[in-house]
Structure 1
Amino acid sequence: MIDRPRLAPGRGRRLAAALFACLLAGCAPAPEPQRAKPAMWLVEDDDTRLYLLGTMHALPAATDWDEGAVGKAIAAADELILELSPEQLAAAGAEFQRLAPRNTPLPIDQRLPATALAAYRTLEASGAGQSFGGDALDDWAVMVVMGQRVAQNARLLPSNGVETGLTARFTEAGKPIAGLETAHQQLMLFETLDAATQRALLTRAAAGAGKAVADVDALTAAWSRGDEKALEAMINDDVDAVPAARAAIITERNRRWSLWAKQRMAKPGTVLVAVGAGHLVGADGLPALLTAQGLKVTRVQ
């Protein structure tokens, strides 16, 4: 197990409001435009190269992330692999509308303790102040709409996100783009969590809502400088507190993706694999899993 620095008490609760809620719309605010050097690894053998790039799905304007080794990987790659293909990402909204509603409404004030409820209401009143409609939604779906509000408050633009930029570059070059999952599969990761786990995640997210923007700002700063240990600490501090969520959202997906990567290594070519940065760090991150399978893995940025 890689040693990692511990965060101050409470940081995990604050991160939850953004990290879990932004599976599809990744929250990543920064205090000002900056040049980023996100971490990237290369998995290679005699005739195959897989670049593993950690992404943020939404970014502030004027964040430059596609220079240096990343720019070279984009130019060299024959194809792009994302968590969701562009077609599946476009389908995610409708899939959310289908899966998110509860069978029977349950008031939010019956789900959250007083302190968490107060923070939830403050976030709901922020920005344009539009109601979350949480009474009618499953706990996991309430987290998603909370995360959307955090993103709005932080002035995040998915159009500046890494996946959007990569999709434009590969489409313009006529190179194929595919996904590791469907929108249905991705949202079902939350939908199928047991009730106690969903409630624990929602409570943590609500309790930390007031600090979500600041904490995700720290997450983005770590991503921008390619700080693997800091990313691991921030992400693990949150998900370790809810083991069932960690297993479903990170560990099991990473294992599936590592099997896909090992199989892809049997076919010649150069591939850029771009997934959320949290999937590439720690003992159960993709680089570590592929190394354990005997593949040659090198950090190249």
Structure 2
Amino acid sequence: MWLAEDADTRIYILGSMHALPQGTDWDDGAVGTAIDAADELVMELSPAELGAAAAAFRALAPREAPLAIDARLTGRALTGYRALEASGGSLNGDALDDWAVMVLMGQRIAQEAELVPDEGVETRLTERFEAVGKPIMGLERAREQLMLFETLGPAAQRALLRRAAEKADSGVADVLAMTAAWGRGDVAALENVINEGIDAVPAARKAILTDRNRRWSAWAIERMERPGTVLMAVGAGHLVGEDGVPALLEARGVRVRRVQ
């Protein structure tokens, strides 16, 4: 967690994990202090948009015409995909766009790693802020977020799907390692994991990470024109590296320091 501040505004910027193991303890200490101090919560999606995400996925995910996974993946990638299906039932990949298959594969791996969305940062923060009547807003809409994937070119989508499928056999271990790195605040380890997965697809990195980080840092700078204390919780991958939100804010002259 980082703190961006000026004379009358504080924005705590918390790196979130969308799903966590049952019983994970993360919202005490400095994070708990920030939660209690904040006048409002800002997340990638508001609670209403989080609720709309599944319907948006169902609307955008289907292909115009089915295409067999066997025609999209070969070798280790196809083996990894089939192993995931064998572990928990069909992913119906033939009927879905490449990006949507990748999303479902990620969800299957998270399930196998026993990561629970109800234990994730967004769910717990929503409960705490709603319990005391503090406002919650979102930086994006669910459909807008999924359109970042939907509008990627075919080559970028296929590359993301292939890389995800090739690493499916180590997916549970990788997810648990990333969760552990997050839990101990190991920014370098998080950055390595994130870069390994997306640096090979520059178009995806630009659309999914860099461009959004720039928009969110611009939002934070604008928000600092008004007094108050804000807790801004976005995926931890958006806060690390030279194009992470804290670094972008510092480059714009905002005072930023890590506080957790």
TM-score range, shorter chain: over 0.9
Is 2:25 the counterpart of 1:64? yes
* Map of 1:256 onto structure 2: 215
Q: Summarize the alignment of residues 115-264 of structure 1 with structure 2, pairs less than 5 Å apart.
A: 115-127=76-88, 130-264=89-223
Matched residue type, 2:38: A
Contact 2:68/2:94, CA 8 A, preserved across alignment: yes
* Map of 1:50 onto structure 2: 11
Alignment partners' CA distance in 1, 2:37 and 2:225 = 18
* Map of 2:62 onto structure 1: 101
Matched residue type, 1:92: A
Give the Å deviation of 1:155.
1.6
Contact 2:163/2:197, CA 8 A, preserved across alignment: no
* Map of 1:112 onto structure 2: 73
Alignment partners' CA distance in 1, 2:214 and 2:47 = 23
Alignment partners' CA distance in 1, 2:233 and 2:15 = 6
SS of the residue corresponding to residue 20 of structure 2 reads coil
Alignment partners' CA distance in 1, 2:59 and 2:80 = 27
Alignment partners' CA distance in 2, 1:194 and 1:156 = 31
Give the Å deviation of 1:151.
1.6
Give the count of matched residue pairs.
Answer: 260
Matched residue type, 1:259: A
Pick aligned residue for 1:269 from 221, 228, 238: 228
Give the Å deviation of 1:114.
2.1
SS of the residue corresponding to residue 174 of structure 1 reads coil
Structure 1, residues 197-220: CA drift from partner, whole Å, max 9, x if none?
000000001111110010111101
SS of the residue corresponding to residue 126 of structure 1 reads helix
Normalised by the size of structure 1, how large is the TM-score?
Answer: 0.85
Matched residue type, 1:267: R
Alignment partners' CA distance in 1, 2:177 and 2:113 = 13
Matched residue type, 1:206: A
Matched residue type, 2:154: A
Alignment partners' CA distance in 2, 1:59 and 1:119 = 23
Alignment partners' CA distance in 2, 1:251 and 1:202 = 20
Normalised by the size of structure 2, how large is the TM-score?
Answer: 0.99
4+ runs deviating over 6 angstroms: none
Alignment partners' CA distance in 1, 2:122 and 2:227 = 24
Structure 1, residues 6-57: CA drift from partner, whole Å, max 9, x if none?
xxxxxxxxxxxxxxxxxxxxxxxxxxxxxxxxxx000000100000000101
Contact 2:110/2:175, CA 8 A, preserved across alignment: no
Alignment partners' CA distance in 1, 2:257 and 2:107 = 35
SS of the residue corresponding to residue 70 of structure 1 reads helix
Contact 2:42/2:138, CA 8 A, preserved across alignment: yes
What's the C-alpha RMSD, in Å, of the aligned pairs?
A: 0.7
Q: Summarize the alignment of residues 270-289 of structure 1 with structure 2, pairs less than 5 Å apart.
A: 270-289=229-248
Q: Which runs of 5+ in 1 are unaligned?
A: 1-39
Give the Å deviation of 1:120.
0.7
Alignment partners' CA distance in 2, 1:92 and 1:45 = 35
Structure 1, residues 131-164: CA drift from partner, whole Å, max 9, x if none?
1110000000001111121122112211111110
Matched residue type, 2:232: V
Alignment partners' CA distance in 2, 1:165 and 1:274 = 11
Alignment partners' CA distance in 2, 1:101 and 1:282 = 34
Give the Å deviation of 1:240.
0.9
